[in-house]
Structure 1
Amino acid sequence: MPQLLTVVAAALIGPDGHILLQQRPPGKSMNGLWEFPGGKVDPGETPEVALARELEEELGITVAPHALFPAAFASEALGDRHLLLLLFTTTAWTGVPRALEASEVRWVHVDDMHQLPMPPADLPLVLSLSALLRAPQRVGQRG
């Protein structure tokens, strides 16, 4: 049975509705591809706490775990491991996102994400996010 690898990612939604993506740096697997910022969930962490930590490490921003809203997930086999990628949305953070670990960050309209090379696991998330953003209820609201 493959080992489950839980990874969290964020769709940071700016005031104009654009979403922040980051480009994987040289030397890392899938370098040059555009992705939602995030990373692995460490033992003992909730997904929201892990994502808040990752966003501070990768982008230099502060996000309260309670300001992260579940949006979608992807599941993909990765050889001897199985990836479970959890996507959250947020419109609330402190600081200006900058590429601390990535090659570059870019604000992109959700419809334009289809033109960017992205990791295979991110592609279904783009479709889900597109549908979510078009839904009558605003993203980031509970209930």
Structure 2
Amino acid sequence: MSEGVKTVLVVAVALVDTDGRVLIARRPEGKQLAGLWEFPGGKVEPGERPEAALIRELKEELGIDVNEACLSPFVFTSHGYESFHLLMPLYLCRRWSGVVQAREHSALKWVRPAQLSDYPMPPADEPLIAWLRDLL
């Protein structure tokens, strides 16, 4: 990769329900990597803190409210795509208010950590599966 590649900061969350399952979301048609499953989240806007971005994205994408104190930094992934480099911290969250709904994704699914690898994910998300499997 050349030196001039832009780094994009994206935040993601592993929402964990009371049964120890993790929420994954399918990328909608028309978006890059459509049809693949991912951890909810999104881009950090200029001047925005990662936690604030994640709280905003979860409200927009899933219709839930998350308190910053309920976001635990867990692990991150760093992946070079053809036109940019992605840096993505993954947070854990076990508490939120509201009912999870697919507002921007084509589907949502609660999955046991051992089954996460059964769902095709973007290359940047794949390394996170082993961490979640080991923790949960």
Whether these two folds match at TM > 0.5 is yes
Q: What is aligned with 1:47?
A: 50
Following superposition, the deviation at residue 62 of structure 1 comes to 0.3
Following superposition, the deviation at residue 132 of structure 1 comes to 2.0
Q: What is aligned with 1:78?
A: 81
Matches within 5 A, 1:61-100: 61-100=64-103
- Please give the per-residue CA displacement for 1:30-73, whole angstroms capped at 9, x wherever unaligned: 11111100000011111111001000000000001221001111
Matched residue pairs, number?
Answer: 133
Q: Percent identity at matched positions?
A: 49
Following superposition, the deviation at residue 116 of structure 1 comes to 0.6
- Please give the per-residue CA displacement for 1:64-114, whole angstroms capped at 9, x wherever unaligned: 122100111110112232100110000010001110000011100011111
Matches within 5 A, 1:1-143: 1=3, 2-133=5-136
- 5+ residue gaps in structure 2? none
**TM-score (norm. length: structure 2):** 0.95
Which has the higher mean CA deviation after the structures are superposed, 74-83 or 24-33?
74-83
- 5+ residue gaps in structure 1? 134-143
RMSD (Å), alpha carbons: 0.8
